[in-house]
A and B are shown apart, each in its own frame.
Chain A
Amino acid sequence: MIIWIVFAILTAIAALSVLVPMARERARDGEQPSHDAQVYRAQLGEIDKDLERGLIDDESAEAARAEIARRLIAAAKASEDNAKDRAGSSRAIRLAQLAAIVFVPLATIGLYLELGTPNLPDQPLAQRLAAKPTQQDLPLLVARVENHLADNPQDGTGWDVLAPVYMRMGRVAEAATAYRNAIRILGPTVERQSNLGEALTMANQGIVSADARAAFERAVEIDARAVKPRFFLALALGQEGKNDEAAAAWRSILDEAQGNEPWIQAALSELEKVGGELPQKFARSGPSAGDVAAAGQMSEAERTQMIEGMVAGLDERLRSQGGDAEEWVRLIRAYSVLGRQDKAAKTYEFAASSFEGDPASMEKLEAVRQALDIAPAGSAGDAPAKPE
């Protein structure tokens, strides 16, 4: 708000610089001596003085006097002519006053609002730097570290800290440089090498360049089991069109996976892209998001068929490879939901037999049996048959 008061004062002073001289001039509206005549009279006096000092002779002094006298007469005549139309018009004065009072403020404010940013205060760097770090903008913090590094380019830790920040800000090329510096000073680690490769890849629109590949290969040299570099190397093989090698690489990564890593979906879809077969443990791990979406569009029969297929898949895996109590419980529930009580009972029996001596698992199985009211298949034979 204060700024508008300051603007108003400045504008008022500007308007006064027009108004005051006009008002003051009215007071002394007298006859003004001709300035030309003054100059020529001064020149006449100068000739006399020159003559006294002997700088010019009589003859040239006389000639000069005559010339100046002619100019003087001309000037006097011009000044008379001028005086005749010296009366000013009050309309012009009023227009000028109007311009000062109305045009100057309105035009200035209008134009300024169009061009200026009146709500944006100064932001001197020192003041921004002095602000608490929590209030500082990220770019400024980065700039601080950058300044520090410009002075201490051998501070490897600084580069190590700055690099991931660059990555997050999307300044991938600078991130790559920072990782390089960190590697040069602190030495290579799997993490730095693979992050460098990642930065280079991102800087290259997601294509793994030769530089990036070299970085990933260095990382693999350090730790052959490291996932990140192998992931990108597999990606590189796919990008080069070496589909078989890529598929093998993807499978080897997926084989070692726990199953809950965040990158698994990406790896699986890359594997599918290069036309490789999905490893079995992932093939049966459940419906993918795509499958579920597809299920929504199916007819009732198709859906049931799909679900039955998936349940059958799970059954087969558990029987051949085994699984934990949770998975068996899931299978039992699935059969129950599908209305296949017999299957549910058989599954329970199978599971219970495999978990003998494991009270915790047995407890879970027993819980589901009671909840679903499943008759143990084994005892079913022993128990008296229900009346039909």
Chain B
Amino acid sequence: MMAMTVEFGHYALVLALVLSLVQSFVPVYGALKGDARLMAVAGPVSGMLFLLVGLSFAALTSAYLASDFSVQNVYENSHSLKPLLYKITGVWGNHEGSMLLWVLILVFFAALVAAFGRSMPEALRAAALGVQGWVTSAFLLFILITSNPFLRLQPAPAEGQDLNPILQDVGLAIHPPLLYLGYVGFSITFSFAVAALILGRIDAAWARWVRPWALLAWMFLTLGIAMGSYWAYYELGWGGWWFWDPVENASFMPWLAGTALLHSALVMEKRNALKIWTILLAILTFSLSLLGTFLVRSGVLTSVHAFATDPARGVFILAILCVFIGGSLTLYAWRAPMLKQGGLFAPVSREGALVLNNLLLTAACAAVFVGTLYPLALEAIADDKISVGPPFFNLTFGPLMIPLLIAVPFGPYLAWKRGDLLAVAQRLWIAFGIAILAVLVTAWLSGAERILAAPAVGLAVWVIAGSVSEILSRARFRDVGIATGMRRLAGLPRSAWGTALGHMGLGITALGIVVTSAFQAEAIRSVQPDDNFELSGYELIFKGVAPRRGANFTEEVAHFDVYAGGAKVSELEPTKRLYTARRMPTTESAIATFGFSQLYVSIGEVREDGGVDLRAYYKPLVTLIWLGTLVMAAGGAVSLSDRRLRVGAPKRARQQAAPAE
């Protein structure tokens, strides 16, 4: 019997499209008419859609594993000699496969809502799953019409064209799935927002049901962006960890909007306020995800003109973009005036602080938006290619972060409804003292030439110390003693821990960014074997270059011994690789980690005489950038595990009106 896995996967995908059309109409109509039988369809069909797209994805993966070059997508992006891991990751290392992963995650979130969203009103759940069905059918149609990964080749070529070598890295295994879990995850909050607008019922309970989903998506997005940043850092060989590249911005914008959403949903839930704004944020966050997908997938970034010459894909996504963003905003404009706004509140209060947070985050998001899209618009209209580089973002995004970081420690201290800024300031004096100390130490260490470094370090330390002091003050060690204090600390709501960890992570990341930007040391030179040079107290000795052979590449390995204080502390082997199938060279940098700091070496061409050109960096505290994001995501996870947020779990005691004071 002949195996037909590939065609089975193709059929499952087509079936998923047709079924998602049913999903788009039946439950939504049921929700509008209050017909429980029609609404009941939403859950099982969501599960079925996940199963179908999952089968389809599995079929494509098996074609990759078997090197089935009769599948055009496998032929174009795989090679029989490729290591197993990259055969698997190659599935989403290309346009068609990555869109399939996109849809898989879309239906995955719908299935999660179907499985765990039983505590919410049936109509909201059914309508939200229906809206999710709209997005799913639009993207399935896009895949089948313009980007079908199941197209076949007959006769089958003998060997594949291999995956782009830059993508042959563990980074590809982790980064896109995390990133997609993040920004496709926000589709759920979008669907809930649109469903609420359709049903015309938006209240505090809505925020309570939706917030865990936003939190889940936000966690993945945080990790995905951080992973992408670290990947670019070690793979591209330039030692940079953020480039303000449009592709990066495409994922960063939903993150900023999503972070704002998390905070405003808190106000909506607790104070029944900011409802209109929160709904808008939910719509905007996913709209920015769609925009990012359009930017990355349409080819518009390479060149507006390249996009115009092969417009099928781009125009299709653009149409999806217009229908969903335009449609949801129209619905919003129609329904929003009907919403009754909640109570007013004082500017100095928890909700006031959260509004400030939202203002700054959305302004920052707008800055990134302009910096990303302006060059594209200009190229399209004036045929003028400009690039908006880091200076633009440093001047717009940077200044917005300063008040944000100053304000962060105040937020959790402030009471709901009416806060006392002076009282909060008094409680923060220890944190403030630590920050000042950090400024002084930095200034003393760095001297006068990096005058901005000291206050920047102080600001980062302020955020970290502020969040630590907040969680400690909740335990009231001074009033109740160590033992009771510890018990109180353990008994604090997980959401309080989540807040503290989230803010602390932000501070840690900021510290890493500030220190590595201000105090990084760099050496660009060419060396002969047995040359040595010094960088920030480390002595590097170049031992020469030797060839090495990998599974599907050959490489020239440069060997460096690293000495500190006369003792050998590490060895570095940066390489220059040539991937045989595509004849494409890549640079593999070598990194040695000392504490939180890193020594980073990458080489250029190897010369005839055995010498190499190299660039070496010492990056102090650079790993804090990514460790901070891990702490942030951990904060999200802790907050998500709070029992009151755990969807479907029995509800339990929580503070309603004020934090424990």
Contact = CB atoms under 8 A, between A and B. Distances in A.
Interface of A: 2-3, 6-7, 10-11, 13-14, 17-18, 20-22, 24-26, 29, 32, 34-36, 38-40, 42-43, 45-47, 49-50, 53, 55-56, 60-61, 63-64, 67-68, 71, 74-75, 78, 82, 85-89, 92-93, 96, 99-100, 103-104, 107-108, 111-112, 115-118, 120-128, 137, 139-140, 142-143, 146-147, 150
A39 to B, nearest CB: 5
B158 A56 contact: no
B205 A17 contact: no
Given A21-B41, A86-B34, A142-B158, 17 more contacts: A13-B48, A14-B48, A29-B36, A46-B653, A55-B660, A61-B657, A63-B657, A71-B272, A88-B36, A99-B22, A112-B14, A116-B150, A121-B3, A122-B68, A123-B68, A146-B159, A150-B81
A40 B651 CA distance: 11
B17 interface: yes
Contacts of A3: 4, 7-8
Nearest to B78: A125
Contacts of B11: 7, 10, 108, 112, 116
B655 A56 contact: yes
B326 interface: no
Contact of A11 (B1, B15, B45, B203): B15
A82 B43 CA distance: 21
B57 to A, nearest CB: 15
Interface stretch (B116-124, B346-354, B405-413, B625-633): B116-124
A60 B658 contact: yes
Given A108-B11, A115-B148, A121-B4, A50 B653 contact: yes
Nearest to A6: B8
Given A36-B203, A38-B119, A123-B68, A14 B52 contact: yes
B204 A71 contact: yes
B22 A75 contact: no
Interface in B198-251: 201, 203-205, 208
Contacts of B654: 43, 46, 50
Nearest to B150: A116
14 contacts: A10-B52, A14-B18, A14-B19, A18-B45, A25-B36, A46-B651, A85-B34, A86-B35, A92-B30, A112-B11, A115-B14, A117-B7, A122-B63, A140-B158
B658 A75 contact: no
Interface in B1-52: 1-8, 10-12, 14-15, 17-19, 21-22, 25-26, 29-30, 33-41, 43-45, 47-48, 52
A82 B199 CA distance: 11
A251 B201 CA distance: 98
A108 B7 contact: no
Contact of A40 (B7, B35, B38, B205): B205
Contacts of A137: 155, 158
Contacts of A26: 37
A51 B152 CA distance: 68
Top-4 shortest CB links A-B: A88-B35, A124-B66, A143-B158, A121-B2
Given A61-B657, A111-B18, A124-B68, A92 B208 contact: no
B395 to A, nearest CB: 44
A125 B68 contact: yes
A317 B428 CA distance: 121
Given A21-B43, A22-B41, A35-B119, A111 B660 contact: no
A17 B580 CA distance: 49
From A17, A40, A86, A121, residue with most partner B Cβ within 10 Å: A17
A122 B66 contact: yes
Contacts of A21: 37, 40-41, 43-45
Contacts of A75: 203, 205
A71 B203 contact: yes
Contact of B653 (A53, A60, A139, A140): A53
A89 to B, nearest CB: 7
Contacts of B63: 122
A112 B658 contact: no
B5 A25 contact: no
Nearest to A34: B121
Nearest to B208: A39
A10 B18 CA distance: 13
Contacts of A22: 37-38, 40-41
Nearest to B2: A121
B156 interface: yes
Nearest to A93: B37
B649 to A, nearest CB: 11
Contacts of B148: 115
Contacts of B203: 36, 71, 74-75
A107 B148 CA distance: 18
From B35, B152, B652, residue with most partner A Cβ within 10 Å: B35
